[in-house]
Amino acid sequence: MITIISSTNRPGSNTFKVAKYYQQMLLQKGQEANILSLTELPDAVIATDLYGKRSEAFKLILDKINPLDKFLFVIPEYNGSYPGVLKVFIDACDFPESFYEKKAALVGISSGKYGNIRGVDHFTGVCHYFNLHVLPLKLHIANIKTELDENNNLFKEDTVKFVNEQIDKFIAF
């Protein structure tokens, strides 16, 4: 099973819309896919889960994360990088159980013209640190507001083509 991480805690985000699109495409290809939106993190995650203490709310998330083998991160650009809440999430997870020797695909999105190239690169370094194997094909979807139709589906031919290619490669990865 693949878990898609919607890597922001912003309600109603384009990140979540892209995560839902990926979930639909994976399901069409016969792959079970769940979404973990970082809006689901407990409000007190910084106080309760970063330094060895475990809240019941975060333990429920870990119980879902730790047995998984594949993650697809949809990462919006925040100030030229990835969201701080994604780093908090990673830091609060179990090391090494949560991500060590597992696999990931990365998708960057931005409202600007570069599709979060730097943020995906920064997050790739974090993944390498804890030996999370990253699919070489990373997507960068720029101008995200122009990429989604009225049903929150990606519709531009090149974007859809590359998303399908990334999904096929990630399934085989």
- Reply yes or no on whether the pLDDT at 22 is more than 80: yes
pLDDT averaged over every residue in the chain = 96
Residue 12 burial (CB < 10 Å; 0-12/13-18/19+)?
exposed
Residue 115 burial (CB < 10 Å; 0-12/13-18/19+)?
buried
**Domains, the chain, ordered by start:** 2-172 (3.40.50.360)
- Reply yes or no on whether the pLDDT at 52 is more than 90: no
Check: pTM over 0.95? Answer yes or no.
yes
Helix (H/G/I), strand (E/B), else coil: 148: strand
Q: Which two tokens stand for residue 122?
A: 């920064």
